[in-house]
Amino acid sequence: DPSGTFVQLRLGLAQTTCRKRAPQRHCRVLESRRKPICLACYKFDTSDVPKVLDKYHNCGPSHHLAAKEIRQRDEAECRAVEEAGRGGDTPYLPGMFAFSRGLPA
């Protein structure tokens, strides 16, 4: 995409038996706990030092009754992030347009 690089990440989180203070390599996942699914979308420009043009992230519970509505909203938000930097939403820059006054008839 000439307007930049779009990245979409979907992560599933799970609670484990490990403690925050003393992290271990092998932790058992607690099966009976909530497992939220996180979605993150980022759009970077194409410059040498990429800048974030737009971003969206949401971590919602997977058991929620309105999961379908949340998923649809997430998809719409990510589409909007993907469109960032394209023709329609570029900012106005001075000198971008020129107007001249017509001579009287």
Query: For the segment 43-63, what is each residue's pLDDT rounded down to a tens digit?
Result: 988 888 878 888 998 886 655
Residue 93 lies in a domain: no
Query: Model-level pTM?
Result: 0.60
Query: Would you say residue 89 lies in a domain?
Result: no
Residue 90 maps to a domain: no
CB 40 within 8 A of CB 30: no
Q: What is the pLDDT of residues 71-96, one digit of tens each?
A: 888 888 888 888 887 765 455 555 55
Domain that holds residue 31: 5-83
Is there a domain that residue 16 lies in?
yes
Tell me how many domains the chain contains.
1
* Cα atoms in the 13 Å half-sphere on the side-chain side of 91: 3
Is 24 a domain residue? Answer: yes
| Residue 40 included in any domain | yes
Q: Is residue 50 part of a domain?
A: yes
